[in-house]
């Protein structure tokens, strides 16, 4: 009889451990692979997307819950300051550059492996970057 009680308690302990591991695995999986902070980017705003390599892109981010997110109307900031005769760069001249205006002329939408996204943030309407994107987009509509 004592052996029967020992077998039941051992099985119960193993069952409790197995259930705990399943719950932990489920919570961890949803925490890692779920949408960033449990929400999708605001479709009416622009986002700043920082990649694991340190690159930052701006545009409208969709598809963060899939393997590849899309960044529409993608822009980056470049320093257009000339280098002086002494080899030193002049005062920074930061410019917002549309990806489709790059030398190799990619389309403006970027597909980004979501594992490479370190963080994304919605930009406020008052953001200088959001205002510059709006201004450049309106210029593009008139052409």
pLDDT of residue 90: 74
pLDDT of residue 3: 53
Q: Where are the beta strands (DSSP E) in 55-126?
A: 56-62, 68-79, 94-98, 110-113, 117-122
Q: What's the whole-number mean pLDDT along residues 62-77? A: 93
Q: What is the pLDDT of residues 116-143, one digit of tens each?
A: 999 999 999 999 999 999 988 777 654 4
Is the pLDDT reported for residue 32 higher than 50?
no
pLDDT of residue 50: 96
pLDDT of residue 92: 79
pTM: 0.65
Burial class of 97 by CB neighbour count within 10 A (0 to 12, 13 to 18, 19+):
middle
Q: What's the whole-number mean pLDDT along residues 57-69? A: 94
Could you tell me the fold of the domain covering 38-142? SH3 type barrels. (2.30.30)
Helix (H, G, I), strand (E, B) or coil at 106: coil
Domain extent listing, the chain: 1-33, 38-142
Cα–Cα distance, 17 to 136 (Å, whole number)? 58
């Amino acid at each position: 009889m004592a052996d029967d009680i020992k077998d039941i308690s051992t099985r119960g302990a193993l069952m409790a451990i197995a259930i705990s591991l399943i719950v932990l695995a489920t919570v961890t999986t949803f925490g890692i692979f779920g949408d960033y902070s449990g929400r999708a980017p605001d479709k009416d705003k622009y986002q700043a997307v920082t990649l694991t390599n340190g690159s930052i892109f701006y545009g409208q981010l969709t598809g963060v819950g899939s393997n590849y997110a899309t960044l529409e109307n993608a822009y980056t900031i470049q320093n257009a300051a000339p280098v002086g005769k002494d080899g030193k760069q002049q005062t920074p001249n930061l410019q917002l550059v549309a990806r489709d205006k790059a030398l190799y002329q990619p389309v403006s939408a970027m597909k980004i492996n979501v594992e490479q996204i370190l963080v994304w943030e919605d930009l406020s309407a008052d953001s200088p970057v959001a205002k510059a994107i709006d201004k450049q987009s309106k210029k593009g509509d008139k052409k």
